[in-house]
Amino acid sequence: MVLRGSKILVNNKYVNAKFIGNYLKCHYNGTYASLPKITPREATEILRSNEFTKEFDSSNSIKYYDFNQLAANNPIEDARSEARCKLTNGLLFGVFDGHAGNECAKAISNRLFYYLAASFLPPTALDKILSSGDSSKELKNNLLDLYNGKIDFDSTIEKIYDESFMSFVKELSNKSSTYSSESDFQMDVAIENAFSSLDNDITNEALATLQKPDAAKTLGVAMSGAVAIVAHIDGPHLHVAGTGDCQAVLGVHTESDGWSAKMMNIVHTIDNRDEIKRILSEHPPKENKTVISFGRLLGQLAPFRAFGDVRYKWSEEMLKKVVVPHYGRVIAPYYRTPPYLTAKPDVIYHRLTPKDKFLIIASDGLWDEMSPLEAVRLVGEHMSGKVTLSPVKLPRKHMKLSEINEILLQRKEGLKKKPLDENAATHLLRNALGGREYGIDHAKLARSLSHPCGNARYFRDDITITVIYMDSEFLRHCPT
C-alpha cells in the first residue's frame, strides 16, 4: 500500500482519502487475513440471491430467460429491464452499466423501453393514443408489460419524466405523419431516435429545473452516466442496440463445428479503431493528441458513447454556469470543442435460425473475467448438464427401446457436465469469480465474495447477466 498525502495508490491509481478506511478494512499487510471465511453453501446463497427466471409459452421464439446480478459498488451501478411490447409483437431485454453514480442507469432502465415501444408503433396507432386523452401513466401501462420491478421515483420527478415522454410521443406522431406509407418504417432508425431522444430529455430536464427544488436530482442523472445494451426480439427478428461497452453474444451450435460465439454489438472503446476515427473526425486536427489519451475520452472516460455525462457534452460556458457551482472542478483538460460524447447506438440485425440457441447480454463486469466464447461454451455445457437436474421424462408415448436408449445415453453424457446451478446466469457468475481450467476453485470464489459491496469495486466490477434461450422448433417452422 502506498500513501501520498490524502490519497492511496490502488491498482496503479491514486484514490481519494475517503476510500482509505474502506480499503484498509479489506487488507491487512497485503493479505486477505481479515476477510470472513465463506463456506461453499454460503457462497451459493450469495450467488443465487438475485437470480430470476421467466418462462414463455410456445407462441414465441423465446422459451425463457435467466437473470442474475452481483454488486461490487454500494449502491450497485448496474441496472436491467425486461418487458413485452403490448401493442407490437416484441420482447425487450436491457442491461445498463452506470458510472459516476447509479442515477443515470436507474433512470434509463425505467424510461428507455417506453421510448422504444412508442417508436415501434405505426402512425395510426400513435394518432389513436394521442386522441384517446390517456395520461402518461395509462399510456405506459398500455405500451409495456414489465417483468422486473419498476423503480418508483418521487412524484415530482415522475411528473417531469411523464411530461418529457408525452412530448416525445407527440413529436413521433408529427414525424410519422410525413411517412408516405408504414413500409417506410426502419427499425434501426427508430431505435437510434429513441436512444438519442431520451438522452436529450435527460439534458433538457436538468436545465429546465435549475431553479427548482429537484434540480439536484435531475442534474445528478445528467452528470452521472450509463452505457446500455438492448435486444429486441420479434419472432425470428433480432435487433441489438449498443451504446458503450456492454456486450451481447449469440450462442450458435452446429453438429459439425460445435459451439461458436457471434458478437451482436459494436463496443465503443479504445479497442474499436472505427470509433477512434469517428471521434477524431469530429474535432479539429489540433486535438488529435488530447481528445483520446491514455485510452480514454479526454483521458477520463473509458466508454466512448454513453447516456448522461453532460460534462463531456455541454459547452464550457454552460458547465461553469450550471455544474461547477454544484460539483466543483469537473471540466476536463483540453476541453475545447464539445460535444465529445453521444448516446447514439449502433444497431445490428440478425435473423434467428434453429442453430441460434441463446443470447447473452451482460455488463463489462462479466467480460472483464471471461471471453464471449468462454461464456458461450459455459452456457452450452450448462444446457447439456441441466437436463440431469430433473427426473427423466419421455417426450412422447409408445417410444421404441432404441429411442429411449438414445435419451439415456445423452443423459449419461450430460451427467459429466452436471451444473451446481439451475440458472445459467448464476452458472456464469460462479465461473467468472471462481473458475479455473480444472473447474471451480472455492478458495478463489470465496475470496471474491468476501469483499463487501463498496470494497469489492477495487477487485472487480458490478456484474449483470441475462441469458435468453431461443425456441429452436419455433424458429425451424418460421417462413423464410
Q: Average of pLDDT values for 277-291? A: 97
pLDDT at 13: 42
**CB of 119 within 8 A of CB of 328?**
no
pLDDT at 1: 33
Instruction: Read off φ and ψ for residue 466, nearest 5 degrees.
Output: -130, 130
**CB of 448 within 8 A of CB of 433?**
yes
**What percentage of the chain has pLDDT greater than the value 90?**
68
The reply to whether 183 and 132 lie within a common domain is yes
Cross-strand pairs, 95 = 80, 229
Q: Average of pLDDT values for 261-286? A: 97
Is 290 among the domain residues?
no
Task: Output the domain CATH number for residue 234.
Answer: 3.60.40.10
Top mean-pLDDT range of 166-180, 355-369, 386-400, 437-451: 355-369
- Is a pLDDT exceeding 70 seen at residue 411? no
What type of residue sits at position 293? S
How deeply is 257 buried, as exposed, middle or buried, from its count of CB atoms within 10 A (0-12, 13-18, 19+)? Answer: exposed
The count of other CB atoms within 10 Å of the CB of residue 78 is 28
The reply to whether 18 and 57 lie within a common domain is no
Q: Average of pLDDT values for 244-267? A: 96
Is 126 among the domain residues?
yes
pLDDT at 480: 67
Distance separating alpha carbons of residues 103 and 42, to the nearest angstrom: 31
pLDDT at 177: 62
The reply to whether 63 and 102 lie within a common domain is yes
> pLDDT tens, 414-469?
555 567 899 999 999 999 999 887 788 899 999 999 988 888 999 999 999 999 99
The reply to whether 8 and 103 lie within a common domain is no
pLDDT at 19: 39
- Is a pLDDT exceeding 70 seen at residue 58? yes
pLDDT at 34: 55
The three state secondary structure string of 128-157 is HHHHHCCCHHHHHHHHEEECCCCCCCCHHH
**CB of 237 within 8 A of CB of 244?**
no
Is 330 among the domain residues?
no
CA distances in angstroms from 475 to 65, 89, 262, listed in the order given: 17, 15, 18
The reply to whether 203 and 231 lie within a common domain is yes
Q: How many CA atoms lie within 13 A of 470 on its CB side?
A: 28
Is 395 among the domain residues?
yes
Nearest CA to 300 out of 322, 278, 272, 329 is that of 329
The count of other CB atoms within 10 Å of the CB of residue 1 is 11
Beta strands in 171-246 (DSSP E): 225-234, 237-243
The reply to whether 52 and 198 lie within a common domain is yes
Cross-strand pairs, 228 = 96, 243
Using a cut of 0.85, tell me whether the model's pTM lies above it. Answer: yes
Is 311 among the domain residues?
no
Q: Is 5 left (phi over 0), alpha (psi -120 to 50) or beta?
A: left
- Is a pLDDT exceeding 80 seen at residue 406? no
> pLDDT tens, 89-112?
899 999 999 999 999 999 999 999
- Is a pLDDT exceeding 70 seen at residue 35? no
- Is a pLDDT exceeding 70 seen at residue 129? yes
Distance separating alpha carbons of residues 186 and 236, to the nearest angstrom: 17
The reply to whether 20 and 68 lie within a common domain is no
Nearest CA to 464 out of 417, 435, 426, 418 is that of 426
Distance separating alpha carbons of residues 177 and 173, to the nearest angstrom: 6
Q: Average of pLDDT values for 356-383? A: 96
pLDDT averaged over the chain?
Answer: 87
pLDDT at 23: 40
The reply to whether 7 and 86 lie within a common domain is no
Top mean-pLDDT range of 154-158, 163-167, 439-443: 163-167
Is 234 among the domain residues?
yes
The reply to whether 69 and 17 lie within a common domain is no
Q: Average of pLDDT values for 248-259? A: 94
Distance separating alpha carbons of residues 9 and 4, to the nearest angstrom: 8
The reply to whether 3 and 57 lie within a common domain is no
Residue 29, domain extent: 1-34
What domain count does the chain have?
2
Is 276 among the domain residues?
no
pLDDT at 448: 92
CA distances in angstroms from 99 to 9, 112, 301, 303, 416, listed in the order given: 20, 18, 9, 10, 41
Distance separating alpha carbons of residues 421 and 284, to the nearest angstrom: 53
The reply to whether 259 and 364 lie within a common domain is yes
- Is a pLDDT exceeding 50 seen at residue 124? yes
Is 192 among the domain residues?
yes
The reply to whether 441 and 385 lie within a common domain is yes
Model confidence at 14, in pLDDT bands (50, 70, 90)?
A: very low
pLDDT at 182: 62
